[in-house]
Amino acid sequence: MVSVIASSVRKGNVLEKDGKLYLVLTAENIHPGKGTPVTHLEMRRISDGVKTVERLRTTDSIEKAFVEHDDYNYLYQDGDSFVFMQPETFDQVPVSAEVVGDRAPYLTEICGCSCRPLRAGPFPSKFPSAPRLRWWRPSR
C-alpha cells in the first residue's frame, strides 16, 4: 500500500480503508473562499457494493492499494451478471451488473477489457471507450 494525500486521489483509484478495498467513483477537490479545502470522495466497497461518501482535508493521507491489471474478454450477460473470460487460462468469472454499472452498453461479445484481480474477484477497470459498430449495405 502507498500512502497518498487526499487531493491526489482520482476516479478509478482503489483505496484501502479499515482493511477493505474501495473503488473511487468520484473525487472532487473543493476550495471554499474561507476555510480549509476538502476532498469529497464517493466510493463503492468492492466486496459487497456498499456506496460510501467521505470528506477529507486535502492534506489528509489515505492508503492507495496497488493492483495489477489482467486482460479479460467479455463473453455474455447471464441474468444479473456479466461473464468475463481470462484468455490464457479460459477461466470464466461472473461480475455483478452493479459493478459494471453504466459502462454495460460499451460491452460487445469478445471485446477486451482490463480487470483488476482482487480478493473479491476480478473488477473491470478499463472498458472500450466507445461501442464497436459495423456498417453494411443491404443487398438489392
Query: In this structure, what are the phi and psi dihedrals at residue 87, rounded to the nearest 5 degrees?
Result: -65, -20
pLDDT given for residue 117 in this prediction:
57
- Interval 26-41: pLDDT, tens: 899 999 888 889 999 9
pLDDT given for residue 52 in this prediction:
92
pLDDT given for residue 71 in this prediction:
77
pTM of the model as a whole:
0.60
- Interval 68-101: pLDDT, tens: 667 778 888 888 888 888 888 888 888 777 777 6
